[in-house]
Amino acid sequence: MLSKKTKYGLKALTFIARRIDNKPVPIATIAKNENISQKFLESILLTLRKSGFLGSKKGKGGGYYLLKDPKEINMSSVMRILEGPIAMVSCVSLNFYEKCDDCPDENTCSVYKLMKEIRDGNLKIYNNKSLSDLF
């Protein structure tokens, strides 16, 4: 299941990206329009800023804005920041690899093979998608 963090994060990103002039959008505006708890959204936008997707401006007329063209914002990277690993088990994860403690050999693991296939499928979708495709 997708976390609300990711869901809200994606909604916020599209909301910001829809603004053609790319003028800063205040958190409150996004929260109201997308029915998101403002405080929760704060922390989400903060991580999106710290990961280099968003810029911010304080004070009146401030808010969050995109640092790149929506076409240049890849969905894989966004998902990894918001949701974490794209793979469903860490032993098949490319960016968050971790060995399973219970599994002695990945090559003979039935779950491994299946989940690798799932990961490849999802990765193909995310890799070929940018923020502009979400409009």
Partner DNA sequence: ATAATAATCTATCATTCCGATAGGATAAAT
Partner DNA sequence: ATTTATCCTATCGGAATGATAGATTATTAT
Q: Interface with its own copies by CB under 8 A: which residues?
A: 1-2, 7, 10-11, 14, 34-36, 75, 84-85, 88-90, 101-104, 109-111, 113-115, 117-118, 121-122, 124-125, 129, 133-135
Angle at the Cα of 82 from the Cα atoms of 77 and 83, rounded to 5 degrees = 100
Cα torsion 18, 23, 24, 28 to 10°: value is: -60
Binding-site partner at residue 111 among DNA, its own copies, none, CB < 5 to 8 Å by type:
its own copies
Q: How many residues interact with DNA (rule CB under 7 A)?
A: 27
The interface region with DNA, picked from 12-20, 32-40, 104-112, 121-129 by CB under 7 A, is 32-40
46 binds, among its own copies, DNA, none (CB under 5 to 8 A by kind): DNA
Q: What angle do CA 36, 38, 60 make, to 5 degrees?
A: 125
Query: Please, what is the Cα angle at 77 between 13 and 61, to 5 degrees?
Result: 30
